[in-house]
Amino acid sequence: MPRLALLTLLFFVPGLVWLQSALAADEGEKLPEQRLKAAFLYKFGGYVEWPESAAAGPDSPFTIGVAGADPLAEELSKVAAGRTMNGKPVAVRRIRSADQIAGLHVLFIGVSQGSRLGELLSLTQGQPVLTVTETDNGLAQGSIINFVVADNRVRFEVSIAAANRGGLRIGAPLLAVAQRVWGSTQ
């Protein structure tokens, strides 16, 4: 087994299991889905490489946009408060219109945006934006990561081809814990 795969199994997988159980214990019951997805959205950024063109400037924040999921945006704001990603402060922006997509590093498109999903994804095609959805056909429509619920747990699937089109490289640790990976490996 290659060393990176072994390290992934030893550190990342238990870390995700711990994250889900720790957050669930904090609630005393089943973890609300939105809270767990917010934690994942923040963590995804640490396992993705953006091209240099994605850096707006040394003082610009690492920006995560959320379209159509205000409760998730609220949770994500709590998760990201006072934290950094890739040496930049994290900012969470609620996306109400297409012109607010510029400058994002991550765009989460909630299920309530189903009628606008194709439009929002098309605005990010070929751009260094990690798109994350939560619909049955998110990857087929062009998303890079799509949340799914399997066995009452939040999981995710990844499209390597969609990431490559945006110039993003998805790290092996993230791919190793994805429920499904579409496309060829990098």
Q: What are phi and psi of 149, to 5 degrees?
A: -110, 120
Q: What are phi and psi of 150, to 5 degrees?
A: -135, 130
**What is the reported pLDDT for 60?**
87
Domain layout of the chain by residue ranges:
33-172
Mean pLDDT of 136-157: 93
Six-digit token pair at 31?
Answer: 């973890």
Using one digit for the tens of pLDDT, what is the confidence trace for 19-41?
Answer: 444 444 444 444 588 999 999 99
Of 7 and 116, the structure prediction assigns the larger pLDDT to 116
**What is the reported pLDDT for 146?**
97
Residues 6+ apart with CB under 8 A from 29: none
Q: Cβ(8)–Cβ(176) under 8 Å?
A: yes
Domain 33-172: CATH architecture, name and number where available: 3-Layer(aba) Sandwich (3.40)
Dihedral over Cα of 25, 29, 30, 36: its sign: negative
**152: pLDDT strictly greater than 80:** yes
Using one digit for the tens of pLDDT, what is the confidence trace for 44-98?
Answer: 999 999 998 776 677 789 999 999 999 999 999 999 999 999 889 999 999 998 8
Q: Cβ(132)–Cβ(109) under 8 Å?
A: yes
Strands (DSSP E) along the chain, which ranges?
48-49, 62-67, 84-85, 88-95, 106-109, 130-133, 145-150, 153-159, 169-170, 180-182
Give me the amino acid identity at 117: L
Going by their DSSP bridges, the two strands 48-49 and 88-95 should be labelled as unpaired
Q: Which of 72, 110, 111, 112 is CA-nearest to residue 92?
A: 72
Question: Model-level pTM?
Answer: 0.82
Using one digit for the tens of pLDDT, what is the confidence trace for 155-183?
Answer: 999 999 999 999 999 999 999 999 999 98
Of 88 and 9, the structure prediction assigns the larger pLDDT to 88
**What is the reported pLDDT for 56?**
67
**What is the reported pLDDT for 45?**
94
**7: pLDDT strictly greater than 60:** no
**What is the reported pLDDT for 32?**
85
